[in-house]
Homo-oligomer: A and B are copies of this chain.
Amino acid sequence: MALIVQKYGGTSVGTVERIQAVAEKVKGWRDKGDDIIVVVSAMSGETNRLLDLAREIQGNPVPRELDVLLSTGEQVTIALLSMALDACGCSARSYTGHQVHIRTDGVHNKARILDIDATRIRRDLDKGRVVVVAGFQGSDEEGNITTLGRGGSDTSAVALAAALKADECQIYTDVDGVYTTDPRVVPDARRLERITFEEMLEMASLGSKVLQIRAVEFAGKYNVPLRVLSSFKEGKGTLITYEEQEMEEALISGIAFNRDEAKLTIVGVPDQPGVASKILCPIGKANIEIDMIIQNVGVDGTTDFTFTVHRNDYDKALAVLEQTRQDLRAREVSGDNRIVKISLVGVGMRSHAGIAGTMFEALANEGINIRMISTSEIKISVVVDEKYLELGVRALHAEFDLGDKPK
């Protein structure tokens, strides 16, 4: 008998019929003898409906009150799912984040979970009940309602799995697992049976938005086996696991990409200590997030400095950088917002030289010019012109033989 935490997202509980389907699914697991904790999001559309109400009143709603408002979304779902479970003969109890003591810090709208007191949940499980918990929410030390930010239900599920030492945390979503790359770009992209936490982190942050990064970090930190599955399709999904366990023998797990990049360069900056922070601090103060950063070896006492930002922030970043150029007496500012990032991800590349060479050659063979390169231990990212995205991803997917193997 296993203890399993299952998380169903907004689409999976978007209508009464779907909630009933989830109840049947949960009952199936329960009937097999497993103990089940279900974490749910708000019904799809509900969070936006509530946000719209708030914004009609206040362009920038008070964060504390926004949490009081938004947390009702999940509360509706837990009640309805518990009724649906009861209706199909499966004893269940719903709990808000506060009720099961999901204690967070006091940062409204993006709180972090500090700890969970699982006493009450254990008591219900011992009585044979399914426990249904509102995702995305908790409460701070003073009992104020907090929310974890969008997608926080994944984190709630993982945190509960960690607190209860669950055997597996299953994230049900509208895709049936993690793929070698986006099947819309490469039709023979293959679902991975397993992927490591580290690879998953790189895949997620690079644009394969299957799971929230924070949830994956959390799962890695507490060694919670995490599985991504489809709510609507039978299947085993993808298990996200630790490197120590037996892995598929692949060097490369997948190819991630990000369409929304823009790059900025400041040219002829005096090459002296502290200059990087003088360039990046004003960008940070303007609330612009930076992705890649590249600084080359300086020549003639000056250097060039390049970084990438989200495409939406391009114009704002350009203005900030122009101001910095004047302050630093740098030569010039340039940029490009028609670029994309393509990344090879795989723990296997750690111990294998030559992967980067193969990657660059495969791109060169297609006539794709590489504009920037950045590497970490388990990934190699290149920035190329937007128009080469599909061509580049397909070339790499073929080069590293990631496609569906013939059965």
Q: Are A80 and B57 in contact (CB under 8 A)?
A: yes
Residues of B within 8 A of A68 (CB): 75, 78-79, 82, 94, 96
Q: Are A58 and B79 in contact (CB under 8 A)?
A: no
Of the candidates B54, B65, B78, B84, which one forms a contact with A58 in the assembled complex, judged by CB atoms under 8 Å apart?
A: B84
Of the candidates B54, B76, B86, B144, which one forms a contact with A62 in the assembled complex, judged by CB atoms under 8 Å apart?
A: B86
**Does chain B have a CB within 8 A of A302?**
no
Distance in angstroms from A16 CB to nearest chain B CB is: 5
**Does chain B have a CB within 8 A of A93?**
yes
Nearest-CB residue, chain B, relative to A76: B72
Evaluate whether A65 and B53 lie within 8 angstroms (CB atoms) in the complex, with A58-B87, A72-B76 already known. no
How long is the Cα–Cα vector from A94 to B66 in the complex, in angstroms? 11
Distance in angstroms from A90 CB to nearest chain B CB is: 12
Residues of B within 8 A of A16 (CB): 53, 56-57
Q: Are B143 and A57 in contact (CB under 8 A)?
A: no
**Chain A residues numbered 38-75 whose CB sits less than 8 Å from any CB in chain B:** 50, 53-54, 56-58, 61-62, 64-66, 68-69, 71-72, 75
Nearest-CB residue, chain B, relative to A19: B57
Residues of B within 8 A of A93 (CB): 64
Distance in angstroms from A306 CB to nearest chain B CB is: 42
How long is the Cα–Cα vector from A68 to B72 in the complex, in angstroms? 10
**Does chain B have a CB within 8 A of A263?**
no
Of the candidates B65, B69, B75, B143, which one forms a contact with A99 in the assembled complex, judged by CB atoms under 8 Å apart?
A: B143
Oligomer: number of copies: 2
Residues of B within 8 A of A82 (CB): 62, 65, 68
Of the candidates B20, B66, B80, B145, which one forms a contact with A54 in the assembled complex, judged by CB atoms under 8 Å apart?
A: B80
Of the candidates B66, B76, B78, B87, which one forms a contact with A79 in the assembled complex, judged by CB atoms under 8 Å apart?
A: B66
How long is the Cα–Cα vector from A327 to B82 in the complex, in angstroms? 44
**Does chain B have a CB within 8 A of A5?**
no
Contact with B along A152-182 (1 / 0, CB 8 A): 0000000000000000000000000000000
Residues of B within 8 A of A79 (CB): 54, 65-66, 68-69
Q: Are A53 and B76 in contact (CB under 8 A)?
A: yes
Q: Are A54 and B69 in contact (CB under 8 A)?
A: no
How long is the Cα–Cα vector from A78 to B69 in the complex, in angstroms? 8
How long is the Cα–Cα vector from A57 to B17 in the complex, in angstroms? 8
A–B Cβ pairs within 8 angstroms, 14 of them: A16-B56, A50-B76, A54-B79, A54-B80, A58-B83, A58-B84, A58-B87, A62-B86, A64-B93, A65-B82, A66-B83, A72-B72, A72-B75, A96-B145
Interface residues of A (CB under 8 A from B): 16, 19-20, 50, 53-54, 56-58, 61-62, 64-66, 68-69, 71-72, 75-76, 78-80, 82-84, 86-87, 93-94, 96, 98-99, 143-145
Q: A53-B80, A68-B94 are in contact. List 12 more A-B contacts (CB 8 A).
A: A20-B57, A58-B83, A58-B84, A65-B94, A66-B79, A68-B75, A68-B78, A69-B76, A69-B80, A72-B72, A99-B143, A99-B144
